[in-house]
Amino acid sequence: MNSATEHAADTPRIYSLKNVNRVFGKGKDELQVLCGVDLSLHEGEIVGMLGRSGSGKSTLLRIIAGLIQPSSGDVLYNGAPLNGPAEGVAMVFQTFALFPWLTVLENVEAGLQALQVERKESRRRALAAIDLIGLDGFENAYPRELSGGMRQRVGFARGLVVNPTLLLMDEPFSALDVLTAETLRTDLLDLWSGKQLPIKSILIVTHNIEEAVLMCDRILVLSSNPGRVVAEIKVPFAHPRNRLAPTFRQMVDDIYALMTDRRSADVKGIPELKMGSLLPQVSTNLMAGLIETLAAEPYNGHAGLPTVAERRLLEVDDLFPVAEMLEHLGFAELKGADITLTDAGKLFADYGTQERKTLFAEHLIRHVPLAARIHQVLLERSGHRAPRVRFEQELEDSMTEAFVEKTLESVVAWGRYAEIFSYDDHTETFSLDDVEGSM
């Protein structure tokens, strides 16, 4: 079924975004997440959006769904400017946001609540969606009785029950195990190819290149910092696609190279961390592991990121945040698709455990303003303690609560490793207790 690709450009345009920008935060903490995004979605196509974590994919989906507004630019839905939540657009999320106290049937019906469909009709449509998506017989089960794959099917059914024009999917398979994810992808493609779905177009966000090449007619590649569309790739293969076909492999490799080439993927390079920057969830173990890998044979301090990813069996999405954090901390430099250890990075590799901690502590305080702030506040306070809320409040000026949570989690883990402060989960207090040499 190749027709979707060929006809896509000629079929009616469902969405068109022109020069869409989105900024979060204010003043010195301002962060431009999306920059000059142009895209269109046509009837009859599955479009993929590939980009690294933090590149603004979810933000873009929320703009398309009308849940948030762009800072500037135009969003046209069926030719008219979009104001508020878009009717006929359904969203499927990565984690199965199901109501635990409702049955499968009730969860699917919940998708219709906002539409005020009459009760009998609502039930009929929910049962049809359940049937379509292969949940027959599970109508009265509760989410806790279902496997991850079945729960995500409920998520799909809840999206489909509204008979959407456009289905938006935000990494819908990434929380599933490999086999379950593949089954769901295939089932969805079968329904789509067999024209059993009422949907006119699907936009699927993913950081998995193979998934995009397997499912999509067209792939948009989003860069990071800020997110812009840096490439558009037509996928000409007929369904069902063969992952092992040389042309398939070649396309995956080409996209991989494109995404790891920072000359095209990153316009500005890596911005310095600020007090209000969201800190990535990268463990010190992963950072140390990458430094060790790079320092050792055959790399001797210098390597191409795609090669490292391949050898370590990592997804681009897992490797990049680690590499970027090493750059932020001054342990490595990224240039093009290459990563090179700095002198500090080489020292780290040579050092033993305690020396590593000391070196890491120095770099953490120098390059991560939040870590420096916490350390400084603790030094200045009598008793050398400060409640978590002290920093939460400061961060909440520039970030939403969920981001504050993640950011503090990261800085706590790094600070503990570096032994620049400790943190008590029960009392939610930072302190210099048991911290040696820093007082």
Is residue 55 a contact residue for ligand ADP (CB under 6 A)? yes
Is residue 57 a contact residue for ligand ADP (CB under 6 A)? yes
Is residue 58 a contact residue for Mg ion (CB under 5 A)? yes
Binder among 59, 94, 107, 208 for ligand ADP (CB under 6 A): 59
Is residue 94 a contact residue for Mg ion (CB under 5 A)? no
Considering the complex, what minimum distance in angstroms separates the CB of residue 68 from Mg ion? 13
Binder among 5, 58, 201, 260 for ligand ADP (CB under 6 A): 58
Query: What residue type is assigned to position 73 of the chain?
Result: G
Nearer to Mg ion, 61 or 371 (CB): 61
8 Å CB contact between 152 and 188: no
Binding mask 338-377 toward ligand ADP (x if CB under 6 A, else -) reads: ----------------------------------------
Residue list 181-240, contact with ligand ADP (CB under 6 A): none
Find the Cα–Cα–Cα–Cα dihedral 134, 138, 139, 141, rounded to 10°.
Answer: -150
8 Å CB contact between 60 and 34: yes
Binding mask 2-41 toward Mg ion (x if CB under 5 A, else -) reads: ----------------------------------------
Residue list 34-53, contact with ligand ADP (CB under 6 A): 51, 53
- Please tell me the distance from the alpha carbon of residue 299 to that of residue 312, in angstroms, as a whole number: 13
Residue 336: name its binding partner from ligand ADP, Mg ion, none (Cβ under 5 to 8 Å by kind): none
Residue 358: name its binding partner from ligand ADP, Mg ion, none (Cβ under 5 to 8 Å by kind): none
- Please tell me the distance from the alpha carbon of residue 20 to that of residue 70, in angstroms, as a whole number: 6
Considering the complex, what minimum distance in angstroms separates the CB of residue 54 from ligand ADP? 4
8 Å CB contact between 337 and 257: yes
Nearer to Mg ion, 58 or 260 (CB): 58
Q: Which residues contact 254 (CB under 8 A, 6 or more apart)?
A: 233
CA angle (419 as vertex; 418, 420 as ends), nearest 5: 95
Binding window for ligand ADP (CB under 6 A); candidates: 40-48, 356-364, 397-405, 414-422: 397-405
C-alpha distances (whole Å) from 302 to each of 176, 313, 343 are 34, 18, 12
Considering the complex, what minimum distance in angstroms separates the CB of residue 412 from ligand ADP? 18
- Please tell me the distance from the alpha carbon of residue 272 to that of residue 279, in angstroms, as a whole number: 12
Q: Which residues contact 341 (CB under 8 A, 6 or more apart)?
A: 291, 294, 295, 301, 302, 331, 332, 349
Number of residues that bind ligand ADP (CB under 6 A): 15
Is residue 208 a contact residue for Mg ion (CB under 5 A)? no
Say how many C-beta atoms besides its own lie within 10 A of residue 393's C-beta: 11
Q: What is the 3-state secondary structure (H, E, C) of 255-302?
A: HHHHHHCHHHHCCCCCCCCCCCCCCCCCCHHHHHHHHHHHHCCCCCCE
Is residue 281 a contact residue for ligand ADP (CB under 6 A)? no
Report the interface residues with ligand ADP, using CB under 6 A.
Answer: 24-25, 33, 51, 53-59, 278, 399-400, 403
